[in-house]
Amino acid sequence: MRIMNQPGIRADYWEKFTFTESDLDFLYNHLLEIETPLTTSELLSALIDERIRIEKEQLLSTNRPNGRVYQPAGAYQVGENLLFPAKGWKKGKVTSIREGNNPEISEFSVIRVAFENGDQMEFASNLSDHILNRPIEINTDDPLLTRNSVLSNYKKLLSDRMKQALESNEELVQIAGRWFPRALLVDVNMGYLNLAEAVLEMADGGPLTTEQILEQIDLPTDTNQKLTEFSLNYALQEDPRFDEVGPSGETLWFLYRMEPEEVKQPPLFLKYSPVQYDKDQVQDLISMLGNDVFDELEETCSTCGDDNKVTLTLIYPHWQSGTLPLSDQFQQLFPTAYEAPRVTFTFVDGATGKKFSGWVVRKEKYVSGLKEWYSEHGVIPGSLIFLSPGKMPGEVVITTDNRRTTRDWVRCALVNSESQLTFSMLKQVISSGFDDRMVVYIPDEAAIAKLWSEGKNLRGSLEKQLFNILHELSKLIPQGHVHAQELYASINVLRRCPPGPILSVLINHPRITHLGDLYFRMNDTTEEGA
């Protein structure tokens, strides 16, 4: 709480904070002085400290742009503007001066002051012995003048504004979230970049740390190690041969040409042709799906709980691509980065302890690197996949419900002679646990894949395709009642589509009845087509 005669900055000071040239000069000189690249967060802390220092100096000063701070010992002139701490820092103007008259006090003067609200009052001046002459004090507990409090309340706002200001300054460069003056960078010529390429090629493309690369290219420099690393990082970043693939706080390099194709470009089976629909209309149904469906194309605010353990059901596009959805609900399980579009990390097989590389493709929101693992563990569309954090940072443990191989009746996706998708219940050899509603066994992988590669999967509208699939699935269920999860898993064998557009078609189609919950049926099962 601010005491009345204690000065403070405006209540909206940080909320309306704007970066000035002086701020940028301070940050530039700060980086020059310490000769160490800093993150946006570190620079922000330094700037907040500097701004607080400046504001405190101004608050302690008796001369301010909007007037002098009144103290009884001062001598004032008619027309002078004054600030009165004891009056809540109100501003007033001296309108007259007269001699004081008090036998108990030595000579002094009396000033008459008119305040901005129209009030007029008299105050002593030229009076050296008075309690109000004590030095101005600042409330050290003022949250607006405490760095930790400012960061707690305004960090994201200030960080966004700072980043925008830094990015517009050509004298500063950034790599892996750290900033440094361009003028101090060590020169890294093409010869050293060619050596770096050779080093990475010998390491199967990477990933390697900057330090590991430096050890083998003998870049000469008399500067400090951090500056040398930053300079090489910047040179590698500007060369399209190299890709920075490290998680936040770690810089790792990979040769772009040696990265897996499914990492550089989204696989065919993950490509989605957007369908317009009313999102508000289906929001309640989306919520009913809860954590039974994880789809990277569906925006959601729900999470999987605090323990970060996730059970998800695989759909055909991700199974065929050897990927996982980077769904909003559990993306915190996987590493992210300041800027890198692709991030490498380590999968750990929960059953065997075997470690293998995985990739987070941030923009397209999927995780790659599981094609071989799916095959080894008999994973099929509809299999249950379990994810949890590894013991080491950057590791994710993955398991499936491996069990004794059995022959089960499961829903199978087939392609008929007219290149149309059909479904049948057939006995198949299964070796992993699955979700009954979302399992879709693929007896002929090549036939289904051919529909996609030849573009036949996109013949007809989503509405028509969904109606035909509902007709197919209804034949497998005596009551003809089909759950939305079954339809979601099945339509994704034919085309990539998130739950939202599917549910929108289901509740708006004139020949489909919503039975409540997430069940639907056809009004007329005797006729196919929309």
Q: Are residues 55 and 75 in the same domain?
A: no
- CA 476 to CA 125: how far, in whole Å? 98
Smallest CA-to-CA distance from 394 within 209, 528, 131 is with: 209
Q: Are residues 470 and 483 in the same domain?
A: yes
What's 356's domain CATH number?
Answer: 2.40.330.10
Q: Are residues 226 and 290 in the same domain?
A: no
Cβ–Cβ < 8 Å for 349, 373: yes
Is residue 265 in some structural domain?
A: no
Residue 153, pLDDT above cutoff 80: yes
Full residue range of the structural domain in which residue 125 is found: 63-133
Is residue 335 in some structural domain?
A: yes
Q: Are residues 505 and 412 in the same domain?
A: yes
Residue 485, pLDDT above cutoff 60: yes
Residues in the chain: 530
Where is the domain boundary, 348, 381, 403? 403
Q: Are residues 379 and 431 in the same domain?
A: no
The model's pLDDT over 200-235, given as tens digits with 9 standing for 90+, comes to 999 999 999 999 999 999 887 666 788 888 889 999
Would you state the structure tokens that stand for residue 238, as one six-digit string? 């500007």
Express as a percent the part of the chain with pLDDT over 70.
Answer: 90
Q: Are residues 462 and 361 in the same domain?
A: no
Give the pLDDT score at 1: 38
Q: Are residues 326 and 388 in the same domain?
A: yes
Residue 137, pLDDT above cutoff 70: no
Is residue 204 in some structural domain?
A: yes
Residue 62, pLDDT above cutoff 70: no
Q: Are residues 55 and 155 in the same domain?
A: yes
Instruction: For Cα atoms 343, 349, 350, give the angle at the middle one, nearest 5 degrees.
Output: 125
Is residue 15 in some structural domain?
A: no
Smallest CA-to-CA distance from 254 within 288, 219, 299, 204 is with: 204
Where is the domain boundary, 403, 426, 442? 403
Residue 301, pLDDT above cutoff 70: no
Is residue 43 in some structural domain?
A: yes
**529 SS3 class:** coil
Instruction: Please report which residue ranges of 356-483 form alpha helices under DSSP H.
Output: 371-376, 445-453, 462-474
Q: Are residues 25 and 167 in the same domain?
A: yes
Cβ–Cβ < 8 Å for 381, 319: yes
Give the pLDDT band of residue 83 (cuts 50, 70, 90). Answer: confident
Is residue 501 in some structural domain?
A: yes
The model's pLDDT over 227-284, given as tens digits with 9 standing for 90+, comes to 888 889 999 999 999 999 998 878 999 999 999 999 999 999 999 989 899 999 999 9
Report the mean per-residue pLDDT for the chain: 87
Give the pLDDT score at 489: 96
Residues near 435 by beta carbon (within 8 Å), at least 6 away in sequence: 292, 313, 382, 384, 485
Question: If residue 438 lies in a helix (H) or strand (E), which one and from where to where?
Answer: none
- CA 429 to CA 40: how far, in whole Å? 54
Q: Are residues 452 and 506 in the same domain?
A: yes
Cβ–Cβ < 8 Å for 512, 467: yes
Work out the average pLDDT over 390-403. Answer: 89
Between 48-57, 216-225, 303-312, the lowest mean confidence (pLDDT) is in 303-312
- CA 420 to CA 410: how far, in whole Å? 20
Q: Are residues 202 and 299 in the same domain?
A: no
Cis before 207? omega within 30: yes
Where is the domain boundary, 403, 420, 448? 403
Axis-axis angle for helices 40-60, 147-167 (nearest 10): 120
- CA 205 to CA 41: how far, in whole Å? 31
Q: Are residues 286 and 378 in the same domain?
A: yes
Counted domains in the chain: 5
Is residue 7 in some structural domain?
A: no
Residue 456, pLDDT above cutoff 90: no
Question: What's the whole-model pTM score?
Answer: 0.75
Q: What is the DSSP string of 475-527?
A: TTSTT--EEHHHHHHHHHHHS---HHHHHHHHHH-TTEEEEETTEEEES-TT-
Is residue 315 in some structural domain?
A: yes
What's 75's domain CATH number?
Answer: 2.30.30
Would you state the structure tokens that stand for residue 148, as one six-digit string? 């930790």
Give the pLDDT score at 322: 97
Give the pLDDT score at 3: 43
